[in-house]
């Protein structure tokens, strides 16, 4: 089974960089597609997320906001059967 990870992020965001690193580590050896969306690319996303990034969705469901470790993400992916 494969997973789709959607990460709402923005440039020059240290929390976003930390979450991206955790995703890379957790994704090793797994069939995972990762999509990053810059919230500053669309006014609607800016309004919805403001400075409340990063936000991570797994297969369309909100999974983490602001911080996640690779260990926590691996555990969640395993629980999801991925």
Give the number of other CB atoms < 10 A from CB of residue 82.
19
Residue 24, classed as helix, strand or coil, is helix
Question: What class has domain 3-79?
Answer: alpha beta
Sequence length of the chain is: 82
| Angle separating helix axes 14-27 and 70-79, nearest 10 degrees | 50
Could you give the CA distance from residue 15 to residue 39 in angstroms, rounded to a whole number? 14
Q: What is the pLDDT of residues 26-59, one digit of tens each?
A: 999 888 889 999 999 999 999 999 889 999 999 9
Could you give the CA distance from residue 78 to residue 64 in angstroms, rounded to a whole number? 15
Provide the residue ranges of all domains of the chain, joining segments of one domain with +.
Answer: 3-79
**Which pLDDT does position 1 carry in this prediction?**
58
């Amino acid at each position: 089974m494969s997973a789709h990870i959607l990460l709402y992020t923005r440039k020059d965001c240290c929390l976003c960089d930390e979450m991206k690193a955790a995703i890379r580590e957790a994704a090793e050896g797994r069939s995972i597609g990762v999509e990053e969306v810059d919230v500053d690319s669309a006014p609607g996303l800016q309004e919805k997320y403001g400075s409340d990034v990063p936000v991570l969705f797994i297969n369309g469901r909100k999974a983490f906001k602001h911080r996640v470790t690779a260990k926590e993400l691996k555990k969640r992916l395993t629980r999801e059967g991925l």
